[in-house]
Amino acid sequence: MTMINLEELARFLVKAKKRTYAGDGREITSERLGFKELEFIEGDWNYRDSYVGFFSAPGQEVVRFRGEPVWVMSYSGGMTPKFRDDINFAKETFGFLKKALSLITEDAPYRGPETFSEDSKTYYQNSYTGDITNFRGSEKIVHTEGRIRGIVFAQDYIGGLVLPK
């Protein structure tokens, strides 16, 4: 088994995530029927984000080093039930989510920052426990003013290193 440099993994994750979903990366041919997949490759590293759905879109991110899976994160959630029939609002919400996710850091290379807001009425919140080797967390987008109030998007995630035999 190849020992993975965790700092190098964190740097790669940040770069990969900024260049795929958060950065409107190009979609590739999916390994799984019905899924959308995004990929980023750099040297020996390969990142693939695979998800299905729109309003609710569970998925999985896999990092391979020299072809072997070394890190995985699974996520599930999406628009809260009250907002699952408004495609334009969902697109707006996902645009805001991508801005938050583009602020990912090497010290927590899972999703977005602990908090993010562009105005006083909409904010992103992310909380997690653990480290890059074993973690879990949840994120949400909340509207506090206007006709839309409350949690509009919520998602949980879990992941860490892959440890083969």
Identify the pLDDT of residue 137. Answer: 98
Identify the pLDDT of residue 160. Answer: 98
What is the pTM assigned to this prediction?
A: 0.93
Structural Rg of the chain based on CA atoms? 16
Mean pLDDT across the stretch 42-68?
96
More reliable by pLDDT, 27 or 106: 106
Instruction: Report whether pLDDT(12) > 90.
Output: yes
Instruction: Report whether pLDDT(90) > 80.
Output: yes
Query: Looking at the DSSP assignment, which residues form a beta bridge with residue 108?
Result: 105
Length of the chain: 165
Work out the burial of residue 26: count CB atoms within 10 Å of its CB; fewer than 13 is exposed, 13-18 middle, 19 or more buried. Answer: exposed
Identify the pLDDT of residue 51. Answer: 96
Integer Cα distance of 5 and 7 in angstroms: 6
Identify the pLDDT of residue 2. Answer: 60
Identify the pLDDT of residue 27. Answer: 87
Residue of 24, 98, 102 whose CA lies nearest to 90: 98
With a pLDDT cut of 90, the percent of the chain lying above it is: 84
